[in-house]
A and B are shown apart, each in its own frame.
Chain A
Amino acid sequence: DSGVTQTPKHLITATGQRVTLRCSPRSGDLSVYWYQQSLDQGLQFLIQYYNGEERAKGNILERFSAQQFPDLHSELNLSSLELGDSALYFCASSTQGGLSDEQFFGPGTRLTVL
């Protein structure tokens, strides 16, 4: 158990819909990362937050957005969903988000878009 929690575990929805994925980092960790893992793309970095502020952006679509709240939990919002958005979405956290800080990953949310 990494100490990172994600809800829900599974999500099934239809094209065009909007969903919100939630992540609670390990106690004391200030940085949160979101990754997407699909069959054809592998694990891809989406976005990182540090203490409520966006720090880095990766291959995140404009239909996707995220935020980190004052209590440090984070939410990833996916809108206008397409079939290709079906994937595992992982959240990770680290203490400061620095180069020497290991990231601890949550169990993931499996999103299925029908």
Chain B
Amino acid sequence: DAKTTQPPSMDCAEGRAANLPCNHSTISGNEYVYWYRQIHSQGPQYIIHGLKNNETNEMASLIITEDRKSSTLILPHATLRDTAVYYCIVSPSNTGNQFYFGTGTSLTVIP
């Protein structure tokens, strides 16, 4: 299964864009990149996912490099409520699509 590497922590000023990087150099051709976040001990919240193309939804944008070995999650205008742990996950290409969460990036949005 493809593993991911994320910085353990990041800060971002309120109102600015938060750019969260993720490396997944062993990703296979049919494996998706997913981003989730977890606020305190709440259930992880789905943000966005993609395969090859860049994706955008109401929460964020996902930029995947052409070689698919890394990606960046962009929160365009960070608010205090975006303070959370962000997980980058690569869905395994065997059966089941079970997620393997790493340690994620703890994002702190500063007023």
Q: A residues engaging B (CB < 8 A)?
A: 2, 4, 31, 33, 35, 37, 42-45, 48, 55-56, 58, 88, 90, 92, 94, 97-108, 110
Please tell me if the beta carbons of A45 and B98 are within 8 angstroms of each other in the complex: yes
| A44 proximity list for chain B (CB < 8 A) | 101
Which residue of A is nearest B93, CB measured?
A99
Please tell me if the beta carbons of B49 and A100 are within 8 angstroms of each other in the complex: yes
Most buried by A among B45, B51, B99: B99
| A42 proximity list for chain B (CB < 8 A) | 101-103
Q: How many residues of B contact A (CB 8 A)?
A: 27
| B100 proximity list for chain A (CB < 8 A) | 45
Q: B residues engaging A (CB < 8 A)?
A: 30-32, 34, 36, 38, 41-46, 49, 51, 87, 91, 93-103
| A45 proximity list for chain B (CB < 8 A) | 98-100
| B91 proximity list for chain A (CB < 8 A) | 99
Which residue of B is nearest A55, CB measured?
B96
